[in-house]
């Protein structure tokens, strides 16, 4: 399975448009080679470099149709369910490292699951990870970085 973005390559900086210094919208994501028999996809966007313990969760989405090949900018895949981000709100929160804190990495982690998940909107990343146990059929990752000026 592969996850890419036309906006940035793996390991490269995320354009300002997709950060708190720009439009604060999610970047377009492209999905390829979903494993045969996948029942759903899940996406977690996480910053392990955030100053809070355990990092910071930017987006949690599950029950994405496994036939999805594109998640458009500023959108949630039709029928998908979102969880809470590190601010405690449902939805996407853009990269926004503290000024002068250096470069942060943002991991767009995509998971192929053998079933739809029965967890409610607003679940946490930990609840999603727990619900995925025993259902994982594939995974892929795209990493971007962002640095804010001092």
What residue segments make up the domains of the chain, in order of their start? 2-146
The CATH number for 2-146, chosen from 3.90.280.10, 1.10.510.10, 3.50.50.60, 3.40.30.10, is 3.90.280.10
Average pLDDT over every residue of 10-15? 97
Task: Collect all residues with Cβ–Cβ distance below 8 Å to 145 and sequence separation of at least 6.
Answer: 11, 12, 13, 14, 103, 104, 105, 106
> What pLDDT band is residue 101 in, cutting at 50, 70 and 90?
confident
Is the per-residue pLDDT at 91 higher than 90?
yes
Burial class (CB in 10 A: 0-12, 13-18, 19+), 142: buried
Average pLDDT over every residue of 41-57? 94
Strand partners, 29: 71
Is the per-residue pLDDT at 125 higher than 80?
yes
CA distance 78 to 118: 17
């Amino acid at each position: 399975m592969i996850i890419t973005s036309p906006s940035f390559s793996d390991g490269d900086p995320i354009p300002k448009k997709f950060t708190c210094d720009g439009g604060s919208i999610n970047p377009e994501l492209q999905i390829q080679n979903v494993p045969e028999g996948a029942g759903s996809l899940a996406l977690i966007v996480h910053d392990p470099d955030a100053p809070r313990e355990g990092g910071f969760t930017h987006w949690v989405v599950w029950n994405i149709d496994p036939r999805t090949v594109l998640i458009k900018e500023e959108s949630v895949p039709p029928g998908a369910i979102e969880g809470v981000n590190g601010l405690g709100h449902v939805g996407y929160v853009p990269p926004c490292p503290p000024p002068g804190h250096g470069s942060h990495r943002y991991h767009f982690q995509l998971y192929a699951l053998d079933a739809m998940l029965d967890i409610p909107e607003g679940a946490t990343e930990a609840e999603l990870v727990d619900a995925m146990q025993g259902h994982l059929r594939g995974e892929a990752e795209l990493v971007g970085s962002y640095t804010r000026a001092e």
